[in-house]
């Protein structure tokens, strides 16, 4: 419902929404591992301290989105859901838009360098995905939090653009202030760098510096918003490690933690929503509402329970009951229909 309401808000408001039992995330969002939600915590030896910190008081949690297109796609959903779970737990979510880093290009998980984008294109993409994120959070609040009887106000998502703070730094100042805290050995050891160096095309200096900029983003958010937690896909571990390394040198004594989420793939091992190079978008202009619904409606039986756990807020007991009914009468596609309805 969250995403579909972005596309069909007026229509959805006329539909009866199923009311489930009260279900909200506890302060310690790491308990979502019961749903298979998290892959790793960095530093691994600090996981108990991270749990204690999350459970003791409200924290600030951020995730980044580079403006590589004018719409988010279903592959972004898990990170967005992670921010929503953080919000439901009483934490402050931050969605960082990469107005600066999007012009550099994240090499993580890529075999080739991204094509440079015109600044006008970057700005248009920033506007579009920023509006999508705000609508998703607003629809979640109205349709899935208040309408389903949850109490307490949610902290509004804070959408920031990292170009805003890089405008205040010139290149020499940035290299002098930030670059001195990085070591070439650590930077070269990142999986995203190693995989590209083994390719004939190699890696450009531009891409190589991406990890420095993302690391500084986290440091900036820590200093301005006391942001101690970063969420990202498992392919972001190298960038998370770089951020942790920078903060340990610039802000010694301030503990920060990175949490990675599993990369969802289909049965063929392709990234979720990007099989055959055709992304399934969250914007109605790029993927029709019917196409988005049908994408989830066609989820294979082998994948549907996993996606119900990861992409919906349904309680686990309800998911188990739903799957038991589905296994008795799979021809009704009840589990797939519920997944599509929730999204």
Give the model confidence (pLDDT) of 300-314 as tens digits.
999 999 999 999 999
Mean pLDDT confidence for 193-221: 89
b/e for 99-116, b at 16 or more Cβ within 10 A? Answer: bbbbbbbbbbebeeebee
Indicate whether 324 belongs to any domain: no
254 in a structural domain = yes
Is 204 contained in some domain? yes
Which pTM does this prediction carry? Answer: 0.88
Could you please report the per-residue DSSP string of 180-221? GG--HHHHHHSHHHHHHHTSTT---HHHHTHHHHHHHHHHHH
Give residue 91's domain range: 16-271
- Looking at the domain assignment, is residue 316 inside a domain? no
Find the mean pLDDT for residues 268-289.
76
More confident residue, 340 or 109: 340
- The 10s digit of each residue's pLDDT in 137-176 is 999 998 888 776 676 889 999 999 999 999 989 989 999 9
Instruction: Please determine, for residue 9, whether its predicted confidence score (pLDDT) is greater than 60.
Output: no
Q: Is the pLDDT of residue 187 over 70?
A: yes
53 — pLDDT class (breaks 50, 70, 90): very high
> In this structure, is residue 332 part of a structural domain?
no
pLDDT for 23: 44
User: What pLDDT score does 268 carry?
Assistant: 74
Element (H, E) at 61: strand 60-65
Q: Considering the chain, what is the average pLDDT of its residues?
A: 86
- The confidence score (pLDDT) of residue 105 equals 82
What confidence category does residue 281 fall into, taking pLDDT thresholds of 50, 70 and 90? Answer: very high
Secondary structure letter of residue 27 according to DSSP: S
Helix residue ranges per DSSP H, the chain: 2-12, 47-56, 77-88, 119-139, 163-166, 171-177, 184-189, 191-197, 205-208, 210-225, 237-250, 289-297, 301-311, 316-328, 334-342
Does some domain include residue 162?
yes
| Inside any domain, residue 52 | yes
Asked if the structure places residue 96 within a domain, the reply is yes
Report the domain count for the chain: 1
Quick one: average pLDDT of 7-13? 32
Q: Which CATH number belongs to the domain containing residue 220 in this structure? A: 3.40.50.620
């Amino acid at each position: 419902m969250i995403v579909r309401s972005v596309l069909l808000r007026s229509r959805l408001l006329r539909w009866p929404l199923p009311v489930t039992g009260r279900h909200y995330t506890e302060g310690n969002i790491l308990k979502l591992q019961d749903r298979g939600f998290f892959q790793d915590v960095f530093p691994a030896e600090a996981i108990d301290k991270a749990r204690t910190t999350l459970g003791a008081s409200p924290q600030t949690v951020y995730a980044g989105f580079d403006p590589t297109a004018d719409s988010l796609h279903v592959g972004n959903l898990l990170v967005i859901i992670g921010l929503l779970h953080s919000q439901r737990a009483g934490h402050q979510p931050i969605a960082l838009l990469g107005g600066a880093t999007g012009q550099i290009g994240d090499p993580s998980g890529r075999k080739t360098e991204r094509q440079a984008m015109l600044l006008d294109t970057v700005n248009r993409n920033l506007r579009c995905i920023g509006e999508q994120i705000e609508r998703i959070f607003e629809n979640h609040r109205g349709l899935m939090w208040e309408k389903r009887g949850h109490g307490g106000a949610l902290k509004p998502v804070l959408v920031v653009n990292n170009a805003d703070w890089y405008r205040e730094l010139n290149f020499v100042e940035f290299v002098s202030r930030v670059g001195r805290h990085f070591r070439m050995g650590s930077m070269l050891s990142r999986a995203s760098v190693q995989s590209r160096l083994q390719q004939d095309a190699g890696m450009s200096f531009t891409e190589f510096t991406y990890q420095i900029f993302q690391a500084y983003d986290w440091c900036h958010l820590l200093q301005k918003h006391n942001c101690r937690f970063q969420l990202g896909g498992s392919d972001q571990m190298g960038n998370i490690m770089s951020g942790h390394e920078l903060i340990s040198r610039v802000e010694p004594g301030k503990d920060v933690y990175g949490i990675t989420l599993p990369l969802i793939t289909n049965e063929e091992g392709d990234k979720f929503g990007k099989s055959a190079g055709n992304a399934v978008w969250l914007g109605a202009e790029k993927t029709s509402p019917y196409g988005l619904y049908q994408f989830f409606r066609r989820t294979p039986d082998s994948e549907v329970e996993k996606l119900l756990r990861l992409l919906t807020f349904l309680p686990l007991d309800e998911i188990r009951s739903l799957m038991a009914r589905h296994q008795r009468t799979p021809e009704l596609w009840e589990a797939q229909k519920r997944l599509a309805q929730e999204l």
